[in-house]
Amino acid sequence: MMLTLAPINTNLWILRIKGKDETKKFLSNLGLVEGTTIHIISEMNGNLIVNVKDTRVAIGKDLSKRIIVSDKKEERVV
């Protein structure tokens, strides 16, 4: 599921990041890479505050739509 559709206050795992290389690099610099645990702290109008690697990061609606997550660590995206 897209990060924008994920429930708040649950641990999630990043399965895939969609987009161009510069988008992936930008999110990677924030610590958002495949296989990382992410926790949604709050949501307002599609914009999210997430906790990743013990750091709070604000993600806009457009970027959060590009992050595919799951509540099951072993799930895979085809």
pLDDT at 46: 83
Q: What is the mean pLDDT of residues 32-61?
A: 92
* Residues 2-22: b if buried by 16+ CB within 10 A, e if exposed: ebbebeeeeebbbbebeeeee
Q: What is the mean pLDDT of residues 33-61?
A: 92
Dig out the tokens for 36 from the structure: 């990382």
Mean pLDDT of the chain: 89
> Is the pLDDT score of 74 beyond 80?
no
